[in-house]
Chain A
Amino acid sequence: MKTAILQLSKEERAILARLKAWLALQLAAEAFRRDAALREVCPAGGIALKLAIRGVGAGMQLVVKNGIARVYSVGWPQLVLFFPGSASAIRVLSGSKGTAVPLPLRPGAFKALGFFRKASSRATELLRGAETPEDVRARLLLAATLYGLEVVAGDSYLARRMQIIPDGVVAVRAGEIEYFVEKRGNAIHVIEAQRHPDAVLSFADYRSAIDVLSGKRQAVVALGSGEVRIEGLLPLVQGLFAVLDRLSWYLGVAL
């Protein structure tokens, strides 16, 4: 059943707002890494832009410096894009109308905002575009999924579930792409490469990853036909599937 923003609890609205902000920043960073044209238009000195949502904890910022894009939760940005509430953040970051207040703090503030808009727009194009190379699209979808898990893991809806999922590291692989996700206690984080993950979730190729992550092919069917493989500590991966279901639920909320 599709849920509307107004039907969400206060906690759910906050999580969805944080999710939208986190994904917007992570995907903008990923688009910067993958797209040469986008790197060309980035201000020479780099950018630092923070998204802050009232009532949703610490802000998150995109920093591009020396040709490297990263997303942090701390730092002193050029500009804070402030949302007066969760609902406005959800709407604006989903491409709809809503209130967002730019608060310039340092020189280059509006260039940073302009770049963030271009990067977000480019990330969306790359995600949806039929002409996007498969490896780039797979990487963006994986990034959206795995960084999404980071935010959703804190949902009280999943609290008991998170308690029974064993702790450990999962390597997620598709072709040349490899991400590592760590579940520890009630938190999930995308982490640096690990030599000995506890479990491996691998897609046969980029196309399989795209089809499954975009919802075109059921994960269960892909698993049965060998397009997706899980190895190692299965309860860890299967537990993350439950978190993934919750992520899908959030991303399906109607505006």
Chain B
Amino acid sequence: MGNGPGEQSEGPSKAKQGQSRAEKRFETSIAYFERAAKVIPGGIYGSKSPGFLVPGHFPYYLSHAKGSRIVDVDGNEFIDYLCGYGSQIVGYGNPAVDEPALAQARKGDLLNQPHPVMVELAERLVGLVDGMDWAVFVKNGTDATTLATSIARADTGKQIIIAAEGAYHGAANWCSTNVFPVFTQAEQRDVRYFPYNDVAALEALFRQHREKIACVILTPYHHPTYKPQQLPTPEFIATVERLCHSEGAYFIMDDIRANFRLSMKGSHSFFGAHPEMITMGKALANGYPLSVLLGTEGLKKTASSFFITGTYWMSAVPMIAAMATLDEMERLGGTERLAQLGRMLKEGLESLGREAGFSARISGPLAIPYLTFDEDPDLFLNQRFCAAMADRGVFMHPHHNWFISLAHTEEDIAQTLEAARGAFAELRD
């Protein structure tokens, strides 16, 4: 074990000199964070940064979790609706997944050659996900989306990638928000954006860049950070497919976030789309590091010609976990159960919001909800509501969509709604 969290700090921080109730609640988290800031850029980087939540109301460091509950380093417990940013679908520490995974870990995880489970998982995914003929396993969503767009470019011999404004496709330079000139003039130069669901804008891009477009990459529905989620219109998907077909460009569906939460056949199936490549990840292995790029037969040859490798990409444990996760999802009721729990949460929150005098609205699919207030596009109310929920032991992210898992129960939702009644009242008063 290392030192206790406060032992390397420069002396008492301001937070310690005049601690509020909230600061005392997260004293250990804050102490770790102050240590982290000295040795880790930003302390906690990226989407897990404290500034992305509401400091003072949320923990920065978690120690353990079980089922639908997470526990922070100060011992505070929360009903969790972030689910490891979507990676938990059958619950934290689910023995049906962890036991076979840990058994394989004891036998060997990262070997010189792949474990046979790689073949079994590829066969299973190809059989399960509509329209897909092959699978390449990687670790993160960024690996999968970058590989997909690269294959599309190589196959078409064209450069331009089209994506929706505000969509997240990973943290690589071609798609990230790191818009430094050195990247905008290189990796980001050939990426074009249009407003999601805006058919006219998409058609204009295709006209403008005729014979230069390699692919359109879209999430199955739009889940921009800080904004309500948008489902695709039927006209939009049909237009994407028509334009890609006429241009000879590929349609890539980035299903990393939703994964199997909408349909066991893939979210494209849920929305009636027919992409040539699909990326999946997050809940694929219930938190074990694994993502996959799936593709159609026509792209298999090009994919085969790529040198695809990563030290950890073929490790066995996450693939064992993925097989077990799929089994467990089916056993626990799969997407129907997720939607049932999501509906209970959506209807309850919207009703409580109305009772308190707010236009609180849940957007997105039932299993991946996000609450916004129509009267406050700047999200002050989101932040206050989610802070009030966190104070009551419910972890709901103010700026990122939430996730329902199969470990959530009706009792969890009921407890959440009771907390929400108090949170809405606090907002109103």
User: Residues of A with Cβ closer than 8 Å to B?
Assistant: 156-157, 160-161, 164, 168, 198-199, 204, 207-208, 218, 220-221, 223-227, 229-235, 238
| B399 within 8 A of partner (CB) | yes
In the complex, what distance in Å separates the CA atom of A198 from the CA atom of B399?
15
In the complex, what distance in Å separates the CA atom of A223 from the CA atom of B53?
11
In the complex, what distance in Å separates the CA atom of A161 from the CA atom of B183?
12
Which residue from chain B places its CB closest to the CB of A155 in the assembled complex?
B181
Q: How many residues of B contact A (CB 8 A)?
A: 32
B382 to chain A, nearest CB (A): 10
Task: Type the 1/0 row for B163-203, where 1 means its CB is closer than 8 Å to any CB of A.
Answer: 00000000000000101010010001000000000000000
Which residue from chain A places its CB closest to the CB of B45 in the assembled complex?
A220
Indicate if the CB atoms of B181 and A234 lie closer than 8 Å.
Answer: no
Q: How many A-B residue pairs have CB under 8 A?
A: 75
| B93 within 8 A of partner (CB) | no
On chain B, the residues within 8 Å of A198 by CB distance are: 378
User: Residues of B with Cβ closer than 8 Å to A?
Assistant: 13-15, 20, 22-23, 30, 33-34, 37, 42-43, 49-52, 55-56, 60, 177, 179, 181, 184, 188, 225-226, 377-380, 383, 399
On chain B, the residues within 8 Å of A207 by CB distance are: 14
Indicate if the CB atoms of B378 and A224 lie closer than 8 Å.
Answer: no
**CB-CB under 8 A for A234 and B51, given A164-B177, A199-B378, A226-B56:** yes
In the complex, what distance in Å separates the CA atom of A188 from the CA atom of B52?
23
Task: Pick the contact of B50: A161, A164, A218, A224 (CB < 8 A).
Answer: A224
Task: Pick the contact of A221: B22, B23, B43, B184 (CB < 8 A).
Answer: B43
On chain A, the residues within 8 Å of B383 by CB distance are: 231-232
A211 to chain B, nearest CB (A): 9
Indicate if the CB atoms of A225 and B226 lie closer than 8 Å.
Answer: no
In the complex, what distance in Å separates the CA atom of A220 from the CA atom of B50?
8
Indicate if the CB atoms of B14 and A225 lie closer than 8 Å.
Answer: yes
Indicate if the CB atoms of A226 and B15 lie closer than 8 Å.
Answer: yes
On chain A, the residues within 8 Å of B51 by CB distance are: 220, 223-224, 230, 234, 238
Indicate if the CB atoms of B33 and A224 lie closer than 8 Å.
Answer: yes
Indicate if the CB atoms of A224 and B379 lie closer than 8 Å.
Answer: no
On chain A, the residues within 8 Å of B60 by CB distance are: 224
19 contacts between A and B (CB under 8 A): A156-B181, A161-B179, A199-B378, A204-B14, A220-B42, A221-B33, A221-B37, A224-B43, A224-B55, A225-B13, A225-B23, A225-B55, A227-B14, A227-B15, A231-B380, A232-B379, A233-B379, A235-B225, A235-B226
A128 to chain B, nearest CB (A): 22
B23 to chain A, nearest CB (A): 6
Task: Pick the contact of B34: A156, A204, A224, A233 (CB < 8 A).
Answer: A224
- Top 8 nearest A-B pairs (CB, nearest first) are A225-B15, A224-B33, A221-B37, A224-B50, A233-B378, A232-B378, A160-B179, A160-B184
In the complex, besides A224-B55, A225-B30, A226-B23, 10 extra interface pairs with C-beta distance below 8 angstroms are: A207-B14, A220-B42, A220-B51, A225-B34, A226-B22, A226-B55, A229-B55, A232-B380, A234-B52, A234-B226
On chain B, the residues within 8 Å of A230 by CB distance are: 51
In the complex, what distance in Å separates the CA atom of A174 from the CA atom of B23?
20
Which residue from chain A places its CB closest to the CB of B32 in the assembled complex?
A224
Most buried by A among B55, B56, B177: B55
In the complex, what distance in Å separates the CA atom of A226 from the CA atom of B399?
19
Indicate if the CB atoms of A226 and B37 lie closer than 8 Å.
Answer: no
On chain A, the residues within 8 Å of B56 by CB distance are: 226, 229
Which residue from chain A places its CB closest to the CB of B42 in the assembled complex?
A220
In the complex, what distance in Å separates the CA atom of A170 from the CA atom of B286?
40
Which residue from chain B places its CB closest to the CB of A163 in the assembled complex?
B179
On chain B, the residues within 8 Å of A227 by CB distance are: 14-15
Which residue from chain A places its CB closest to the CB of B52 in the assembled complex?
A234
In the complex, what distance in Å separates the CA atom of A207 from the CA atom of B399?
30
